[in-house]
Copies of this chain bind each other. A is one copy, B any other.
Amino acid sequence: MSSAEEIAKAAKAAFEASQLIPSEERIVALHAIKRELEARKDEILTANKEDLQAAQVEVDAGRMSESLLKRLDLGKDDKWCSMLQGILDVATLPDPTGKVNYASELDDGLELYRVSCPIGVLLVIFEARPEVVVNIATLAIKSGNAAILKGGKESNRTTVLLANAISSGLAQTNLPPTYIQTIQTRAEVSSLLALDQYIDLVIPRGSNALVKNIQNNTRIPVMGHADGLCSVFLDESADIEKAVRVVVDSKVNYPSACNSAETLIVHESLLSTLWPVVAKALIAENVKLLCDERTLSHLNNTLDAEKLKSHVEPSAPESYSTEHLSLTLSVVSLPSLSSAIQWINSHSSHHTDSIVTESEANATTFCQGVDSAGVFVNASTRFADGFRYGFGTEVGISTGRIHARGPVGLEGLVTYKYKMRSKAKVGHTVGEFGTDGKQFKHKTIEATSVPF
């Protein structure tokens, strides 16, 4: 077995070598990997059953949750097919590299191009679902990055075979075999986090605790995918039908997703009008409401005692900083739009927040004042998603605000470099310019790719 340093070094060397291989080869690799996975389907699903059996023992012993076990299952429904389809979908997306986004003629014959390029070596750490190894390998290859992947130990048997298929696919191309590598242990992760000379970006996909722990232990930049503490604010002018639809969808559509609403903020002018209607609609979907004093007291008058008892509880201060990930919603009433904005900025995880309003001015103020990756008007927080945004794929939803924020498509896996060329007979020197010399032209060049 290789040491962490050997793995990291090999990844960097693979990345550097890959820079001189035409990007079409990366598409060839994706198709080869898909074929290898198809050929090994039975073997992989058999290993996956073994992972599931081992997990069942853990669940029976109370050491693992049922929901984690479910996420391990690669044979369930159309999971296998959509994993393979995902490879083809990403393969057909536009190449995110080689795109010019700034070009300027600095002087006669001196051209500058800022062009998108891969970041380098990615270290991706994820939990549970084994198909993520294929998803991430696909995204890394498509965007031209080398990657080191670490999955959850619960899906180890499956992951090893998926990784073998990826290696076999790569071996059929000119790309280096160490372009995508997988590791198994936390000790390896710890060692890799110290190697900032080889690894350029860490992408942890999992809990807040995982992300923070990694941020605390590395100099390498981290693109975190952590909690989603999303909220919906019902503004004074909210339309009742929009309010019911947006709130219910935000909470109920897929409660365990990070873009589901965890908090409902009700303008106090709606306490006796709109609020009970929204509450009834939520309870009809079996949502449990954790209410502050005022929203609770207004339900006392309008709900029958049984519903109140089964679905309504007083909230605690920590209710508003809890990611429920279930059919539970914290509710608070506030006196104004500005107090709602302040509340969201201090309580939300800056992921996605929505206002329901008929006021253009209030919509504008909300979107300007709320400091979150997504700020929505009369739309469900559940729209915060790379596919729904139209990126064709999703690397994850970044809860950081540097480099990539919110749903991240392939663009989040590239950076840029500056290419400059002098076509002058004697080349170009800085000494020629200045008060007594030449002046810079800075004339925009219309270009989508670099001509050299």
Contacts and interface: CB of A to CB of B under 8 A. Distances in A.
Interface of A: 15-16, 19-20, 104, 106, 110, 112, 119-120, 196, 200-201, 212, 215-216, 219, 221-223, 239, 241-242, 245-246, 248-249, 253, 341-342, 345, 356, 360, 363-365, 367-369, 371-380, 382-384, 388-390, 400-403, 405-407, 415-424, 426-431, 433, 440, 442, 450, 452
A402 B119 contact: yes
A380 B421 contact: no
Given A246-B427, A426-B241, A20 B368 contact: yes
B452 A363 contact: yes
Contacts of A365: 20
Interface centre among A104, A216, A417 (most CB of B within 10 A): A417
Contact of A253 (B245, B416, B418, B431): B431
Given A345-B16, A374-B417, A390-B442, A428 B106 contact: no
A248 B196 CA distance: 33
Contact of A418 (B106, B389, B419, B450): B389
Copies in the complex: 2
B380 A430 contact: yes
Contacts of A405: 415-417
A422 B452 contact: no
A365 to B, nearest CB: 7
Nearest to A197: B346
A430 to B, nearest CB: 4
B221 A430 contact: no
A-B pairs, 9 with minimum CB distance:
A249-B429, A242-B427, A390-B442, A215-B219, A378-B427, A382-B430, A403-B403, A377-B421, A378-B422
